Amino acid sequence: MSDLKTIIEQTKTEMRRGLIVLSTLALLKNPHYGYSLVQTLEEKGIPIDGNTLYPLLRRLEKQRLLKSEWEVEVSKPRKYYKITEEGLQVLNELIESWKSSKKSIQTIIGDYENE
C-alpha cells in the first residue's frame, strides 16, 4: 500500500510543479516580493514554502521570464519580481495549454465518473 501512496504523492508533486509556475507567472503581472507572493499563493489555495518559491523565482529570472528590482527606499529593502514580455508570451501559451488540457481531462474524467 505504501508503494501506491508514493506513486500518488509523486504524481501530485509533478502536477503541482507546473501549476506553481503557471500561477507564479500569472500573479507577477503585478510586482510582488517573495514573501508577499508566498502569502498570495496560499490565499489562492496553493500553499508553497519559501524554500520552493525562491529557487523557482531565480530560475524564471535566469530564463528571462521575470525581472527583479530592489526597493531600498524603505526601512526593510525588498526584492520585487515582475513578469517580462517574454514571460507574458510564455504565460499566454501556458494558459492556452492549460485550458485545452483542462477541457480534455474534464471530458475523460466525466466519462470515467459516468461509468
Q: Which of 102, 76, 75, 83 is nearest to 37 (CA)?
A: 83
pLDDT of residue 72: 85
Secondary structure element (H or E) that encloses residue 83, with its range: strand 78-83
2-113, what's its fold? Arc Repressor Mutant, subunit A (1.10.10)
pLDDT of residue 110: 82
HSE-CB of 44 using CA atoms within 13 angstroms = 14
Tell me the per-residue pLDDT of 45-69, one tens digit each, with 9 for 90 and over. Answer: 999 999 999 999 999 999 999 999 9
Q: Which one has a higher pLDDT value, 75 or 32?
A: 32
Secondary structure element (H or E) that encloses residue 79, with its range: strand 78-83
pTM, rounded to two decimals: 0.86
Q: Which of 62, 100, 104 is nearest to 92 (CA)?
A: 100
- For residue 90, the tally of other CB atoms under 10 A from its CB is 19
Report whether 46 contacts 28 (CB < 8 A). Answer: no
The one-character DSSP state at 75 is S
pLDDT of residue 2: 80
Tell me the per-residue pLDDT of 66-113, one tens digit each, with 9 for 90 and over. Answer: 999 999 888 889 999 999 999 999 999 999 999 999 999 998 888 666
